[in-house]
A and B are shown apart, each in its own frame.
Chain A
Amino acid sequence: MRVKIDPEKCQGHGMCTLMCPEVFEPDDEGYGHVVPALETVPAELEESVRLAEAQCPEQAIHIIDGGDGA
C-alpha cells in the first residue's frame, strides 16, 4: 500500500496525525505530510492509514494499490 496527501485539498484538520502519527506529520503550519520513508506503508500501519483516510474531512488522503495485500 502507498499513501499520498493532496496538498491542494488538505486544510490541516489534523485527523491523520491523530489516527496514524507514525505515517502522517504536520508541517509548521499544521498541514499534513506523509513521512517520506513511509510512503510505502509498512503492513502493521496499513489499518491506521485506512482509518486516517476514512476520517479526513477534506478527502485529501489517497491510498494507492490499496487492495488487500496488494
Chain B
Amino acid sequence: MDDRQRRNRAVSAARDFDASTGEFLEHEFDTYALLREQLPIARIPSRTSLAAEGGDGAWLVTRYDDASGLLSNTAGFSSQTSNYPVRPWIPQAIDPPDHTSYRRIMNKWFTADAMSGLEPHLRSFAEELLDEMIAEDAFDFVADFADPFPTVIFCELVGFPVEDHRQLMEWKNILMHAADGHSRGRELAAARARELGLEVGDDGSLAADVQAQVSGSVALALYEYFGKLLEERRGQRRDDLISHLIDARYDDERPLTQEELLDTLFLFFMAGLDTVASVLGLVVKGFAEDPAKRREFIELMDDPQRLTLAIEELVRYHSIVLLPRRVTEDLDFEDVCLRANDQVVCPTQACNRDPEQFENPDELRYDRVPNRHMGFGHGPHRCLGIHLARRELRIGLELLHRKLPDYRLHASREPEVFGGMKGVSVLWLEKA
C-alpha cells in the first residue's frame, strides 16, 4: 500500500470509527497503527450529547506522548465529559482541585498495604471458585471465575450485600453493555425497555433515546439501592467503604453530602464491577489461543519479581479502556485546532502499542523494561483500585495455572468479545 492509499484508509477509518463493533475489533490494532501513523489526532464521529452544548467535534488520540500530555493537563482537558444519568460521578468525572480533595479521602482505603491485607482472602476465594469450575471438563471461564471473583470481592469491600452481586452485575450489564456486542447486556436492556413500555427493534436493538431512558431508569434504581444501604449504615456502621464514606471529612472539615455519597457509590459500582473481569477474560482467551505464551507465563510465575513484570505487561497488551476528556477552551494541540467542548478520546489500546514508546509493541514480552504503560490510566485520575486489580490479576492467573496448566478454547462454543470498554462476555474452555 503506498502512502496515499494509507492516508485514504486512515481517513475512512477515522470517519467510520466505532470501537464497539465486532468488525472494528477484528482489525483493532492494525487500525490504531494506521491512525497513529497517518492521523495521530483524528476527527471521529461525535456521539455525545455535548454537541448540544456547543462542541461538535470528537478526536481520537493514538500516540502515547500526546495522550500522556493531555491526560496530565487537567486544566485544558476536563474529565466531566458528557451527560450523566444523574450527576457526574465522584471522583472520576470531577476535575482538580475538588478531585484532589475526594481522592485524599479515598486513596488511603486503597493503598497497597491495605490491599495486601486482603490477599489471604483473595486466595481462598479464588481457590474455591476455581476448584468448582475445573470439576467440569468444559466451563465458561467468565461466568465461573472472571465475573464472580472480582465482583464478590468488591461487594464485600464496599459493603454491597454479596447476595445482591448478580443483580448488580445485571444492572451493570444494562448500563455498560447494551450495544457493544455483549449479548447478555443487550438482552437485559431490551427486557428493561419492554418493561418500561418502550419500543424495541425486532432484533432486540434499541434506538439511542430508548437506550438513554433505559440507562436512566437503571441509574435511578441504583441510586435508590445505594440510598437504602446508606440509611442502614447510618444506623449501624460496619467495616466497609460505605461506612467509611459516611464518616469521611472533605478537606478534614465537613461530612460528604447525601448527593456526594451517592455519586461516589455510583462510580465505585461502574468502575469496580467490570475492569478486572475484562482483563482476566482477555488474558485467558489469549492464553487459550497461544499455548506457547501460556507455558512461558507458567514457567516464570514462581519468581515474584518476574511475575510482577509479567502482570504489568499483560495489562499493557490487553488494555481495555478508552479514556475520554472534554476540551475546556479553544486550543492548538499538536497543530490541531481543538474547540471548547470538543471531546477527545485516548484509547489505551492504541497508546500502549505506540512503537515510539514500546519496542515491538505487538509482542507480549513478559520481561519488558521499560514499560510505562497507561493500562491503569495516566495522570491524577490513575485507577484508584490499581493495587486491588494487580493482586486479583496476579492471584487469579497464578492459581488458575497451578490448578489447570492445560486448556483450550471449546471446540464448538465460540467466545464472545465486546468493544468500547473492551472485554470478554463468554469464554468456554475445555481441558486439554
A contact set with B: CB distance below 8 Å: 11-15, 17-19, 26, 28-30, 51, 54-59
What CA separation (Å) do A58 and B372 show in the bound complex?
7
From the candidates A13, A14, A17, A29, name the one contacting B108 in the complex (CB within 8 A): A29
Known pairs A18-B308, A26-B111, A30-B111; list 6 more (Cβ under 8 Å): A19-B308, A26-B113, A55-B309, A55-B371, A56-B372, A58-B372
Q: Assess whether A14 is in contact with B386, with CB atoms less than 8 Å apart.
A: yes
Q: Counting CB contacts under 8 A, is B312 at the interface? A: yes
From the candidates B104, B112, B378, B382, name the one contacting A17 in the complex (CB within 8 A): B112
Q: Assess whether B371 is in contact with A11, with CB atoms less than 8 Å apart.
A: no
CB distance from A42 to the nearest CB of B (A): 18
Within 8 Å CB of B111, what residues of A? 26, 28-30
Q: Which residue of A lies closest to B383 (CB)?
A: A13
From the candidates A12, A17, A55, name the one contacting B369 in the complex (CB within 8 A): A55
The 3 closest A-B pairs by CB, nearest first: A54-B370, A29-B107, A11-B382
Within 8 Å CB of B326, what residues of A? none
Give the size of the chain B interface in residues (CB under 8 angstroms).
Answer: 26
Q: Assess whether A12 is in contact with B382, with CB atoms less than 8 Å apart.
A: yes
Q: Assess whether A14 is in contact with B112, with CB atoms less than 8 Å apart.
A: yes
Q: Assess whether B378 is in contact with A58, with CB atoms less than 8 Å apart.
A: yes
B contact set with A: CB distance below 8 Å: 72, 103-104, 107-108, 110-113, 305, 308-309, 312, 369-374, 376, 378-380, 382, 386-387
Within 8 Å CB of B382, what residues of A? 11-13, 57
What CA separation (Å) do A29 and B72 show in the bound complex?
19
Q: Which residue of A lies closest to B380 (CB)?
A: A11
Within 8 Å CB of B113, what residues of A? 26
Within 8 Å CB of B104, what residues of A? 29
A-B contact count (CB 8 A): 58
Which one of A26, A30, A59 has the highest number of Cβ atoms from chain B below 10 Å of its Cβ? Answer: A30
What CA separation (Å) do A59 and B370 show in the bound complex?
11
Query: Contacts A54-B370, A55-B371 given: A15-B108 contact, CB under 8 Å?
Result: no
Within 8 Å CB of B371, what residues of A? 54-55
Which one of B305, B308, B380, B382 has the highest number of Cβ atoms from chain A below 10 Å of its Cβ? Answer: B382
Mostly, the B contact residues are helix
CB distance from A7 to the nearest CB of B (A): 13
Within 8 Å CB of A30, what residues of B? 107-108, 110-112, 387
From the candidates B309, B370, B379, name the one contacting A11 in the complex (CB within 8 A): B379
Within 8 Å CB of B386, what residues of A? 12-14
Q: Assess whether A55 is in contact with B387, with CB atoms less than 8 Å apart.
A: no
Within 8 Å CB of B103, what residues of A? 29
Q: Assess whether A13 is in contact with B370, with CB atoms less than 8 Å apart.
A: no
What CA separation (Å) do A17 and B116 show in the bound complex?
13
From the candidates A14, A26, A29, A55, name the one contacting B370 in the complex (CB within 8 A): A55
CB distance from A58 to the nearest CB of B (A): 7
Query: Contacts A17-B112, A55-B312, A58-B378 given: A12-B370 contact, CB under 8 Å?
Result: no
Q: Which residue of B lies closest to A10 (CB)?
A: B382
What CA separation (Å) do A11 and B68 show in the bound complex?
13
What CA separation (Å) do A44 and B272 show in the bound complex?
39
Which one of A13, A26, A29 has the highest number of Cβ atoms from chain B below 10 Å of its Cβ? Answer: A13
Within 8 Å CB of B374, what residues of A? 57
What CA separation (Å) do A63 and B255 show in the bound complex?
41
Within 8 Å CB of A26, what residues of B? 111-113
What CA separation (Å) do A17 and B112 show in the bound complex?
9
What CA separation (Å) do A68 and B104 show in the bound complex?
39
What CA separation (Å) do A28 and B380 show in the bound complex?
17
What CA separation (Å) do A17 and B103 show in the bound complex?
20
Query: Contacts A29-B107, A30-B107, A30-B110 given: A15-B378 contact, CB under 8 Å?
Result: no
Q: Which residue of A lies closest to B375 (CB)?
A: A57
What CA separation (Å) do A18 and B386 show in the bound complex?
13
Within 8 Å CB of A59, what residues of B? 372
Q: Which residue of B lies closest to A27 (CB)?
A: B111
21 inter-chain pairs at a CB distance below 8 angstroms, sorted by A residue, are A13-B376, A14-B386, A15-B312, A18-B112, A18-B308, A28-B111, A29-B107, A29-B111, A30-B107, A30-B108, A30-B387, A51-B369, A54-B370, A55-B309, A55-B312, A55-B370, A56-B372, A57-B372, A57-B378, A57-B382, A58-B72
Within 8 Å CB of B369, what residues of A? 51, 54-55
Within 8 Å CB of A11, what residues of B? 378-380, 382
